[in-house]
Chain A
Amino acid sequence: MALLQVRELTKRFGTFSALNGINLEVRSGEVFGFIGPNGAGKSTTIRVLLGILRATSGEAKLFGKDAWQDAVDIHKRIAYVPGDVNLWPNLTGGEVIDLFVKLRGGNGRSKREELIQKFDLDPKKKCRTYSKGNRQKVALIAAFSSGADLYILDEPTSGLDPLMENVFQECVLDVKRQGKSVLLSSHILSEVERLCDKVGIIRQGKMIETGTLGELRHLTRTHVTVETKQPVSSLEQLAGIHELEVKGMELSFQVDSEEMDNVIRHLSTFGIARLECSPPTLEDLFIRHYEGTGGVR
């Protein structure tokens, strides 16, 4: 069943088209990664889903209800973490968490305490003293204490340190195990890869790819730097090798993800002394596939 369904959604601000026909579907129990560069329309889409902005045309439905008309009903079942969390400077973090938990009508007291521990937040401090990361923790704790059916998270980790990113990922996996759904927006491909069943890529207000990570594998390349014991021959003749550079025994190149197996087999016959791989970045992907084409390959 589709919990969240967006069809041909457009949003214009004056003459500027922020969204040009977005299509999106999140099914029950699914973690959906919503990725795209900054300014692509991720937050705008999410704000339409929350009834904060009104769609110019098209349809946005959550739990089968209209995102604008039935906002209050819908919000009883969702938890939202904005990309840029702003809080009331003269309230403490704990007070803000309580407010949101109670506005949702829950009392996730024990869950709340557990999450405060996990995220290592001092809830007694006033919000004005919190860093961006701490404000984000406040919003995350409030969201994950709520027992919602759908979690809408807009770039939730942009201010968190790596340790806290792990805690966040555990939280997402935890709600996924309970059969809840998550819409997770990000501009970091690797973050989405670890958590999401499905990925949609947005650029300039249009969805340009949607599918499982496996289905999108053909889009990604991995950067490889390798040092071998013997000189490598005829690597450039293998399929899927790009931008090969040779510096003595050290090679660096990019490889299409589906050709990875072949390439590593070939390399290992020369004896691998050192191997470094870095995951593909969203930026690379955009540069390669969509540069200057307005989102059409």
Chain B
Amino acid sequence: MASPLTARTGRLTGFILRLDRLRISLWLIGIVFFTLIVPPALSGMYGSQEERDVMVETMANPAMTAMLGPGDLDNYTVGAMTAHQMLLLTSLVVGLMAILLVARHTRADEEEGRIEPLLGSPVSRTRLLGAYTVLAMANGFVMLSLAAIGLWSAGNASMENGLDFGTIYGAAVAYYPAQLVLIGLAAFFVGFVPKLTALNWLYLFYSFVVLYMGGLLQVPDWTKRMTPFGYVPNAPVEEVTLLPLLVLGLIAAVLALAGFAGYRRRDIETS
């Protein structure tokens, strides 16, 4: 039997899901759609090994390397190429959703005075911010899993030798700690510097620019190290190493804990 407390958390999560039912389902559909659409399109373009070899040659071109990052070109299958691009994109989209859930929603409810009646009922601040955070974490995991499943099935359907599921899923999960950092950062802003919560968006945009266009713009390497995604191995092209992922997870936890502590302590803004 559920205790009244867990029942209340469940109620809160259900309530947030209901608020966002449309948005979350649209995102889900979008991610699945893209992962299913992009690989067949690519394999149509580079269907045979000869065509792929042409792609590899193109890849050897410094400009392309700059754009897509260095890869293990001997094994550059369509699957590997798509996987690492799609997973990065998915991660950025999920980062966007995390900011929406954890930062934008709590702050909008606060700024527009909707949070008062919520906090006036037996809901603690930890529980309120926690419900959003947990939801963002779950959402990130589901999104990455869906992207992995989508990539894998699309790869199998369109290629004679698609990547095996374990490899793709591992590559996807490798992005999870970086997402947790974005979630932690959002919680940190909400708890500590609520007025500057909008900086989350700027940071995400920065990540997008240096990761996606960084090569093209020839930005120095350290700029990528300023985003959590800069530490994610480009699996399946690169080897997955555990240490940077653990460090990212730790940073995420510290940011989130600080955010929660701040949120418990500060005044709620009132109109």
Binding site for B on A (CB under 8 A): 43, 47, 50-54, 71-73, 75-76, 78, 80-82, 84-88, 90-91, 95, 99-100, 102-105, 139, 142, 152
Contacts and interface: CB of A to CB of B under 8 A. Distances in A.
B117 A43 contact: no
Contacts, number: 76
A53 B120 contact: no
A99 B16 CA distance: 11
A76 B119 CA distance: 11
B117 to A, nearest CB: 6
A104 B267 CA distance: 23
A52 B124 contact: no
Contacts of B122: 72-73, 75-76, 103-105
Interface stretch (B7-15, B95-103, B152-160, B168-176): B7-15
Q: Is the interface of B mostly helix, strand, loop or mixed?
A: helix
Given A103-B8, A103-B123, A105-B122, A80 B117 contact: yes
B111 to A, nearest CB: 10
Interface residues of B, number: 27
B149 interface: no
A52 B117 contact: no
A54 B120 contact: no
Given A53-B267, A84-B271, A103-B11, A75 B113 contact: no
A91 B267 contact: no
A175 B136 CA distance: 41
Contacts of A84: 113, 271
Contact of B18 (A71, A87, A95, A142): A95
B124 A86 contact: no
Contacts of B19: 88, 90-91
Central interface residue in A72, A85, A100, A152, by most chain B CB within 10 Å = A72
Contacts of A80: 116-117, 120-121
